[in-house]
Amino acid sequence: MKKIKLAEDLQFSQIVHGHWRLAEWNLSPEELLSLMERCIEAGITTFDHADIYGNYMCEELFGQALALKPSLREDIQIVTKCGIKLVSENRPQHTIKSYDTSKEHIISSAENSLQKMNTDYVDVLLIHRPDPFMDPAETAEAFHILRKEGKVKHFGVSNFTPKQMEMLQSEYDGPLVTNQIELSVLHEQSFFDGTINHLQKEKVKPMAWSPLAGGRLFKGSDEKAVRVKKALERVASETEASSIDEVAYAWLLKHPSQIMPIVGSGKMNRIEAAVNAANLPLTREQWFYILQESMGKEVD
């Protein structure tokens, strides 16, 4: 599988395995380890987490699997996120859902993630959501401390607008290596609101969460979902793709910004569809045809 260079000392697999729903897969540590090894065999070496996933439990489940084979850590890249505070029985001190990008919270969150995941460092730590109460200098100071201590190698953001990203970058002396954004054939706005343009300008590679629109691509009954599904079926037939999700992934992978889709499934056949998409011969006209059906009109 193609590797995407995010920094001089950092490469991700073009497809990322997302563990947002890990707690729902009901896998034993041994079964999860087996799934991770099969992903690595398929070329997927990057795994995406967040402290809040699975009601603050997914990182620990991942860590239990990794503890069974610690040597695997050398072969993978771990991404995690912090900054969202959920009201949860696992965080009884939280009384309201909020964002926290203070130095204290970022450092404590990162250290907690390291402990849960049984690792000495994470490759990339992302600020999960833009924080309207952010002090970018304080957030950057947390980055400096974690980087100096070797606990986090690189930093980035998630769901940030170009201006929000520029604000944080103005205070941090290292590169923000990615912006993890919602992007799919049913959520194409980032191609038009300046987000992708800004990332291309800064040579920052985007990660795409919910690349299949959270299942709406298959189950959605609204006009847009039905229209796009028909378009994907047509292109699947033209390209001899095995499924419409293969086409949906290929649509993202085709773009020159080097988008890295996050596959959030515990089923290997669904993961393999994303892997196979990298070799799908999608033409520029087919790419625009899918975009047209997503927009519901021709491009201007």
Strand partners, 158: 180
Q: Which of 53, 56, 172, 249 is catalytic?
A: 53
Distances (CA, A) of 82 to 49, 51, 163: 10, 6, 20
What's the rounded Cα separation, in Å, for the pair 16 and 79? Answer: 10
Three-class SS of 105-145: HHHHHHHHHHHHHCCCCEEEEEECCCCCCCCHHHHHHHHHH
Q: At 72, give phi and psi (nearest 5°).
A: -65, -25
Q: Is 12 exposed, middle or buried (0-12, 13-18, 19+ CB in 10 A)?
A: buried
Is residue 291 within 8 Å of residue 228, measured between CB atoms?
no
How many other CB atoms are there within 10 angstroms of residue 62's CB atom? Answer: 27
Q: Please confirm, yes or no, whether 121 is among the known catalytic residues.
A: no
Parallel, antiparallel or unpaired: strands 84-85 and 98-99: antiparallel
Is residue 19 within 8 Å of residue 58, measured between CB atoms?
yes
Q: Which residues contact 109 (CB under 8 A, 6 or more apart)?
A: 51, 82, 83
What's the rounded Cα separation, in Å, for the pair 175 and 155? Answer: 7
Which residues are known to be catalytic?
Answer: 53
